[in-house]
């Protein structure tokens, strides 16, 4: 492989990683549940692209496998499973009141991404001198932004997407530092993602049926009741 091709692949990978980060921001900010799902699909495609490019760069068949698994499971099977298990209502929901307004959420997200950069660079350097690209810091940023999505969102679908985006982030870092993890493990992790979608879809359906909402984040009846007046109680 010539130096020019190598450079081209590295640059393309950097482009995919940059767009990946952009979709992670989008998932934090997007109000429409369906738009969140579309962003997540775009994110998974970018992850697959990054894996394929790194696969070419390092001539690693295993990374092609990762790309293929991502290409099939997330853009195709996840939406299909969601349609099968959960009520159609979750797509049409819009979140009017988030825990934080969007500019504040984006500012915090930006701070998280910068933090991820400072965390990721020394990690990537410690693994070895060879090319790591921007995957580690951006993967960590994706993980943190997914977790942040979970804390500011209330709607079932956005929460589910937040969880899956966290996993995407971990993988984004993983494809550059843990390149030869083994196909069995990759397949198992992909299957696991699908089980997550299935179980959460079933739960959302139950919540909608028995409670009448899909804004699961607003369920908050379980907490420590304020200490009740104990005057009339007999202390033994």
Partner 1 sequence: MSVIAILFPPLIAALLVCIPSRKGWASGVTVASSLVVLALATRMAWRIAEGGSFAGELGPGWDNWIAVDGLGALILLLIALVAATAAVYSVGYMAHGGLTPAKSKLYYANYNLFIFSMLAIPLLAEPTLVWIVVELTTLCSALLVSFENTREALEAAWKYVVLSLMGAGVALLGFLVLFAAMHAAGGGTYTWAGLVSAAPRMPPILLQTAFLLILIGLGTKVGLVPMHTWLPDAHSQAPSPVCALLSGIETTSILYVILRLFPVMQAVPAAHAQTWALVLGLISAGTAAFLLLQVSDYKRMFAFSTVEHMGIILTALGLGAAAADYGAMQQIVSHSVTKSFCFFAAGAVLLAVGTREIAAVRSLIRRSPFAGSALVFGGLAIAGAPPLAVFLSEFAILKAGLAQGHYVATGLLAAFIVIAFFGVMVHVNRMVFAPAENGAREADSPALPFSCRLVLIVAAVPVLVLGVYVPKPLHDLLAAAAAALTR
- Does 77 participate in binding partner 1 (rule CB under 8 A)? no
Cα–Cα distance for residue pair 193/86, rounded to 1 Å: 16
Part in contact with partner 1 (CB under 8 A); list of ranges 23-31, 95-103, 106-114, 125-133: 125-133
Helices (H), the chain: 3-29, 33-58, 61-72, 78-85, 89-92, 102-127, 135-152, 156-177, 183-210
| Residue with Cβ nearer partner 1 (45 or 159) | 159
Cβ–Cβ under 8 Å, residues 161 and 32: no
- Does 167 participate in binding partner 1 (rule CB under 8 A)? yes
- Does 210 participate in binding partner 1 (rule CB under 8 A)? yes
Residue carrying the six token digits 């990721």: 120
- Does 220 participate in binding partner 1 (rule CB under 8 A)? yes
- Does 163 participate in binding partner 1 (rule CB under 8 A)? yes
Burial class (CB in 10 A: 0-12, 13-18, 19+), 92: exposed
The one among 18, 84, 99, 122 contacting partner 1 by CB under 8 A: 122
Residues 6+ apart with CB under 8 A from 190: 69, 70, 73
Binding region for partner 1 (CB under 8 A): 119, 122-123, 126-128, 139-140, 143, 146-147, 150, 159, 163, 166-167, 169-170, 173-174, 177-178, 180-182, 184-185, 188-189, 192, 195-196, 199-200, 202-203, 206-207, 210-211, 216, 219-222, 224-225, 227-228, 232-236
């Amino acid at each position: 492989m010539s130096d020019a091709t190598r450079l081209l692949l590295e640059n393309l990978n950097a482009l995919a990683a940059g767009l990946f980060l952009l979709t992670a921001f989008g998932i934090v900010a997007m109000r429409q549940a369906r738009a969140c799902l579309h962003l997540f699909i775009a994110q998974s495609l970018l992850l697959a692209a990054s894996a394929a490019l790194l696969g070419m760069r390092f001539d690693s068949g295993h990374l092609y496998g990762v790309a293929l698994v991502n290409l099939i499971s997330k853009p195709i099977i996840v939406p299909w499973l969601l349609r099968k298990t959960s009520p159609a209502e979750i797509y049409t929901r819009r979140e009017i009141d988030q825990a934080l307004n969007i500019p504040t959420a984006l500012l915090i997200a930006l701070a998280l991404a910068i933090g991820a950069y400072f965390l990721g660079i020394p990690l990537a350097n410690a693994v070895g001198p060879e090319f790591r690209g921007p995957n580690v810091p951006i993967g960590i940023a994706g993980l943190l932004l997914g977790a942040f999505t979970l804390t500011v969102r209330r709607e079932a679908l956005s929460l589910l997407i937040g969880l899956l985006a966290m996993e995407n982030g971990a993988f984004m870092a993983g494809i550059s530092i843990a390149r030869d993890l083994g196909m069995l493990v990759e397949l198992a992790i992909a299957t696991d993602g699908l089980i997550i979608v299935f179980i959460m879809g079933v739960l959302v359906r139950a919540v909608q049926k028995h409670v009448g909402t899909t804004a699961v984040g607003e369920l908050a009846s379980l907490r420590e009741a304020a200490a009740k007046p104990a005057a009339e109680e007999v202390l033994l």
